Structure 1
């Protein structure tokens, strides 16, 4: 993690939009904790309204496409239905 460039597990460099990077930074500093859309919105400077909630979802969808092997079945950035999202840091064994 350096600026907006992130190095993937296989050493590839992932370039991110600032908005995607901001969301990733929120999750990295709060890894393994459930974050509501409202908490994410607040952390990245959005106001809490229905549109900012959807904006968070869109950024998470884009982030998954960049960091997950299978974005439809995320391993790291998971949805907790009706609650929010949780980011699980990868372990040394590749999980």
Structure 2
């Protein structure tokens, strides 16, 4: 759920120990630690956060971040996702948030409030 903070009127979203400020393009972790991200990594994260719990193909991600659709951009998406996992997943090999759906794409899983 996208939240607006009243006093700053910024769009932000919490996931796990992280808070993503979509307008300020900043991600903070536990204790307010800033997570250093390249522009392209934040772009990919924003695509996932604004489309959480939905399957996204590489082509849809490429289009959303302005990449041309070719084999090179498909690989570029994979590389950014790999880098992003290293920054936001406790165990990048077994991701909790940014999961691969083999042969189809990726899903960014956010809790739905039902305990899962």
Instruction: Give the TM-score of the pair, scaled to structure 2.
Output: 0.73
Task: Show structure 1 runs of 4+ deviating over 4 A.
Answer: 90-95
Structure-2 separation of matches of 1:54 and 1:27: 17
Asked which structure has the greater CA Rg, the reply is: 2
Structure with the largest fraction of strand: 2
Unaligned runs of 5+ in 1: none
Structure-2 separation of matches of 1:61 and 1:89: 18
Unaligned runs of 5+ in 2: 1-21
Structure with the largest fraction of helix: 1
Instruction: Give the TM-score of the pair, scaled to structure 1.
Output: 0.89
Say which structure, 1 or 2, has more relative contact order (CA 8 Å, 6+ apart).
1
Aligned length: 95
Residue 10 (structure 1) shift = 5.2
